[in-house]
Amino acid sequence: MKTLGLSILFLATACFGQQWDFGGSAGGSFLPMLPVSSPAGSASAGFQPGFVAGAFVGQRYNDHISGEVGYTFFDNAMKLSGGSQSTTFSSNAHALYYDFLWKSRPKSETRAQFFGLVGGGMKIYRGTGTEQAYQPLSQYAYLTHTQKVEPMASFGGGVIFRLTDHVSMRAEVRDFLTPFPKALITPAPGAKIGSWLNDIVPMVSVSYEQ
């Protein structure tokens, strides 16, 4: 975690220029469960809905394009369901990424700017629960106390509301796309789980702009 913090600080410092902004965000995290196929039958695996919190530092290149370094913390427990049974395992994740934003109109012309974004980075998945000798539904998969770094794509959009000359509020929906972290949710022998995981994240942010 020390290395992650130093990386955030370094990248954030690199973003500072004559026109910059920084802010904080909070919201929810919703990940669809993926099917598990196994000789023992079928089940589903993934993560429960949770909350997110984050921060960003950005630089405006012109009236329409800006770039941002972002960090987001995710609190989502792992979940495995099959038949009438289900089991969960505590977990969280940390994402570090860089996004390019395209804004519809210069902020000097309007108090509301629609925007789209695309970027990428990495997401660190962490299983934080306590492993037990017997785990329900282990014929499908194992929920593990481990850590895995996955490459991540980020894309989405929303609207920025200018509250004052320097303070804005932003509402957005993002998709954080990564390979499925099979080191955390490990398929049982002969079982298969989908390859990609979409994390749909609606967020509200408040930022200060120079």
Q: What are phi and psi of 12, to 5 degrees?
A: -65, -45
Q: What is the pLDDT of residues 67-93, one digit of tens each?
A: 999 999 999 999 999 888 999 999 999
Closest CA relative to residue 170, chosen from 198, 208, 199, 200 = 208
Give tens-digit pLDDT for 6-46. Answer: 454 444 454 444 588 999 999 999 999 999 998 888 899 99
Q: At which residue do the structure tokens 């994240």 appear?
A: 201
DSSP letters for 116-181: EEEEEEEEEEEE-S---S--TTTTTEEE-S-EEEEEEEEEEEEEEEE-SSSEEEEEEEEEEEEE--
pTM: 0.86
pLDDT tens by residue, 121-166:
999 999 999 888 888 899 999 999 999 999 999 999 999 999 998 9
pLDDT classification of 174: cutoffs 50, 70, 90:
very high
Q: Where are the domains of the chain?
A: 2-209
Strand ranges across the sheet with 78-82? 85-89, 78-82, 41-47, 34-38, 192-193
CA distance 170 to 117: 13
What is 2-209's CATH number, 2.60.40.350, 3.30.1490.440, 2.40.160.20, 1.25.40.10? 2.40.160.20
